[in-house]
Chain A
Amino acid sequence: MNKIFFFIGILCPVFLINCGNDEDPEADLSDNDDRIIQDFIEANGLDATRDTSGVYIIPIVENPSGELPSQTGNDILSIYYRLKVLDSANVETVQPNSGPPVRLKTGVNAVVPVGLDRVIGIMRIGETYRFIIPSELAYGDLSFSELIPENAIMDLEVSLIEAQDEADILTNDLSAINNYIVDNNLNDLDTNPTDSVILLPEGVFFKNISSGDDTRLTSGTSIDIEYVGSFLDNETFDQTLPNESFNYQFGTGQVIDGLDIGISQMGLGANALIIIPSQLAYAESVRVIPDFLRDELAERDIIPTYAVRIGPYRPLVFEVTLQR
């Protein structure tokens, strides 16, 4: 009997040690990714450093005298980029020859891939860096057609062109909106009745098309509106269906600030045009790199639905009818 206990006593620790070694599949994956990246770096003789977040950083063009936005607090960055799957095909490229740089805001968890948000703070204006992002900081197990496989490690080369703050963005928005007003003759009351465009003190542009009654809306009132939403280039991003209206509680923060501000000027039955600078609309929204992944990410509840329709820093135009 005693011998049996003795053997059990010896064997138990052996079993317990094995119990402690439960496999963690995620840890496995990130270790695996790390190894693959290191192999790639060695094979290509790259000068890479590993950031604490797990992203590998390879400087391409350095500019030691350039502004460091993470210090100056200008956290709205404009970048060009080239995105590839590691050691594989190109996914998306935005370069000077294809148009303007894309804007994103760092540090507020409004960027996909998350890995980029972690490391972009090291860049100065005028620099180009190459980031190798492990899958858990990129798209995880999401795969997209043949371009992006599951658990893909991404190779993203970024050039930082400009850094701005909220005030700069507002200036840009105001000038773009003014161009829109001029280009569309919104102040020509013969072609575009009834009143000209006014700038409300809160910062929203309001043009009365047809007046309603004298009702002044109070916070908490349930109202029905029909609207057509478009960008400054007249591309529609959303509208209410015919014979249907959108119902919400006015003045309670349910909708974007700019819309409530504009509707506060309207009586029941009125029809008006409300032009909203990006800060009072969706501001930084979400920057998704590559852009075509937006639908897929929204479906998986990774980004909100509004980010699919509206990208970062886009002023919006709403034509609204307030129903009786």
Chain B
Amino acid sequence: MLKFKVFFAFCTSLLCLSLHVKGQIKEDDSDPLENIYRSPIRKILNKFSINFGSGLGYTNYKHDLEGLLYYQDDENQLVVDPDNELLSSDQLIGSSNWFSNPMLSDTLFNGDIFDVPFSPISNPVNNPLLSGETLLLNADSVGLRFSQTSSSIPLFLSVHYNYQQFRIGIGFQLTFNSIKNFTPNTVENRIRDYQPPFTSYTSSRFFGTVGYRFYDWWNYSFAAEIQLGSINNGKQFNEAFIDQGLFANIGLSIEKHFSEYLRLIVKPSFDFKSYNLNLPESGTTIQHNYPAYFLQIGFSLNIPEIPRSPIPADHIQLKHVITHPVTGVRMEVRGQPLWKWQNPKVGQNHRKLWRNKRKNRKKLDPY
């Protein structure tokens, strides 16, 4: 009987205490939606998307030798200015490497090396040396062009600000290019392939980008982006002779949204660019066009405006407010990682549900 009384008294006092305490909370607290800390830095950063990735490109290099003469012998391939004063005698001087670093050649003999007074040759009848490969032709009359297509690997990083459906930003891309031999558009005159002095080069570009997201479908969105910027092709291109223009790139960005913060980007795009190469000691310029097709694949992410919950035992799925165990600050945190949608519906996101297992993904009724 005594135990009962003690117990009864204890419970009552507990109840009074709790009511008292409750009453105290009710009296002291203001609106629970206020005094929640959200980092202002994160809020600003969240407005910017960071895109990065790689891809594959194909570049088509072509140039026209308009207004020039083309000279070829066993050792040389040169472009010659037709106003070259040596041409009237059996000599000429031209520029080699008119792709990246033009250099004047030595004065070359352009006459017949089997004529008097040159040395005789042994076994003269039907000697293969006689049908030698020296030729000098007017590139205009032949319409001579050299071109080649080779691949490249881009690495890009860009940051843009999203406002409604528009995006504006800046970016940087490093492209690892390979170069093959240039083939002439005509082989009639036994013109050799032109071999550039290097097989690969690295170019870098800075650009500004503007885009518009014009269509959304389920978790996908489509945006058109335009990039405009300057490009630097590296040390192997002699800056002294090259006027590098701006480049322009237009592309279609296809994004798959994994969550509010993470997207996968697949972006086919087309690049327009060209540069002018000035020949040394000559007024002539060769225009090199090298448009490119790129397919870029990468990720786009936004820094989330609120962090994950710092409490390890906190398995709450939705965005919620907690008190930080260390600092004591009341803050809003999210319950899902970066790659999952926040605030999922009941049963939508649980990784252990049958419907979320890979083998069941196509079944209407996976149970």
* Chain A interfacial positions (CB closer than 8 Å to B): 108-112, 114, 227, 229, 237-238, 244-248, 253-257, 259, 282-283, 285-286, 301-307, 309-310, 318
Are A318 and B117 neighbours in the complex by a CB distance under 8 Å?
yes
B124's contact among A227, A254, A256, A304, by CB below 8 Å, is which? Answer: A304
A111 and B120 form a contact (CB under 8 A):
no
Q: Are the C-beta atoms of B126 and A302 separated by less than 8 Å?
A: yes
Q: Are B125 and A255 in contact (CB under 8 A)?
A: no
Within 8 A of A (CB), among B34-91: 88-89, 91
Q: B125–A306 contact, CB under 8 A?
A: no
Whether B117 and A238, one on each chain, are in contact in the complex, defined by CB atoms closer than 8 angstroms, is yes
24 contacts between A and B (CB under 8 A): A108-B122, A109-B126, A114-B125, A114-B126, A229-B116, A237-B116, A238-B115, A244-B89, A248-B109, A253-B119, A254-B118, A255-B119, A256-B120, A285-B120, A285-B124, A302-B126, A303-B125, A304-B114, A304-B124, A305-B114, A305-B116, A306-B115, A306-B120, A309-B116
Task: Give the shortest distance, in Å, between B131 (CB) and chain A (any CB).
Answer: 4
Inter-subunit contact A109/B124 (CB<8 Å): yes
Return the chain B residue nearest A247 by Cβ. B91
What residues of B have a CB within 8 angstroms of the CB of A256 in the complex? Answer: 117-120
Q: Does B112 contact A (CB under 8 A)?
A: yes
Query: Is residue B141 contacting chain A, with contact meaning CB distance below 8 A?
Result: no
Q: For residue B219, which residues in chain A have a CB less than 8 angstroms away from its CB?
A: none
Interchain CB contact (< 8 A) of A110 among B88, B107, B118, B125: B125
Which residues of chain A are within 8 angstroms of B120 by Cβ–Cβ distance? Answer: 256, 282-283, 285, 304, 306
Contact with A along B123-141 (1 / 0, CB 8 A): 1111100110000000000
Residues of B within 8 A of A310 (CB): 116
Closest 3 CB pairs of A and B: A304-B114, A301-B130, A301-B131
List chain A residues, Cβ under 8 A from B127.
109, 304
The yes or no answer to B121 lying at the interface (CB within 8 A) is: yes
Report whether B125 and A112 are in contact in the complex, using a CB–CB cutoff of 8 Å.
yes
Assembly CA distance A97 to B166 (angstroms): 103
A-side contacts of B124, CB under 8 Å: 109-110, 285-286, 303-304, 307
B85 CB, min distance to chain A CBs, angstroms: 12
- A260 CB to closest chain B CB (Å) equals 9
The residue that B125 contacts in the complex, of A237, A302, A309, with Cβ under 8 A, is A302
Q: Which residues of B contact A285 (CB under 8 A)?
A: 120, 124
- Would you give the shortest CB distance from B337 to chain A, in whole angstroms? 60
- Nearest chain A CB to B128's CB is how many angstroms away? 9
Q: Which residues of B are at the interface with A, using a C-beta cutoff of 8 A?
A: 88-89, 91, 107, 109, 112, 114-127, 130-131
B123 pairs with A109, CB closer than 8 A: yes
Looking at chain B's contact residues, is the secondary structure mostly helix, strand, loop, or mixed? loop
Q: Which residue of A lies closest to B131 (CB)?
A: A301
Instruction: Report whether A108 and B123 are in contact in the complex, using a CB–CB cutoff of 8 Å.
Output: yes
Contact of B119 among A110, A237, A254, A307 (CB under 8 A): A254
User: Given the complex of chains A and B, what is the CA–CA distance between A307 and B127 in angstroms?
Assistant: 13
Q: Are A306 and B116 in contact (CB under 8 A)?
A: yes
Residue of A nearest to B129 (CB): A304
Closest to B117 in A: A255
CB A219 to nearest CB in B, in angstroms, measures 15
Give the complex CA separation of A258 and B118 in angstroms: 11
Question: If A109-B124, A110-B124, A304-B127 touch, does A238 touch B89 (CB 8 Å cutoff)?
Answer: no
Chain B residues with Cβ below 8 Å from A282 are: 120
A246 to B120, CA, bound (A): 17
Q: Give bound CA distance, A303 to B127, whole Å.
A: 8
- Residues of B contacting A238 with CB < 8 Å? 115-117
**What's the nearest-Cβ distance from chain B to residue A115, in Å?**
11
Q: Are the C-beta atoms of A111 and B125 separated by less than 8 Å?
A: yes
The closest CB in chain B to the CB of A276 belongs to B117
Is the Cβ of A302 less than 8 Å from the Cβ of B117? no
Min CB distance A232 to B, Å, is 16
CB distance from A297 to the nearest CB of B (A): 9
Complex: how many Å from CA A17 to CA B366?
Answer: 65
- Do B117 and A304 have beta carbons less than 8 Å apart? no
Report chain B residues within 8 Å CB of A229: 116-117
Instruction: Name the B residues within 8 Å of A257 (CB-CB).
Output: 119
B117 A227 Cβ-Cβ under 8 A: yes
User: What's the Cα separation between A302 and B88 when bound, in Å?
Assistant: 27
Q: B89, B118, B122: which contacts A306 (Cβ < 8 A)?
A: B118
Q: A307 to B124, alpha carbons, bound, how many Å?
A: 9
A86 CA to B131 CA, complexed, in Å: 30
Please report the C-alpha to C-alpha distance between residue A111 and residue B123 in the assembled complex, in whole angstroms: 9
**Least Cβ–Cβ distance between B212 and chain A, in angstroms:** 62
Q: Which residues of chain A come closer than 8 Å to B116, judged between CB atoms?
A: 229, 237-238, 305-306, 309-310
Are the CB atoms of A304 and B121 closer together than 8 Å? yes
* Least distance between B129 CB and chain A CB atoms (Å): 9
Residue of B nearest to A306 (CB): B116
Chain A neighbourhood of B117, CB < 8 A: 227, 229, 238, 246, 255-256, 259, 318
Residue of B nearest to A259 (CB): B117
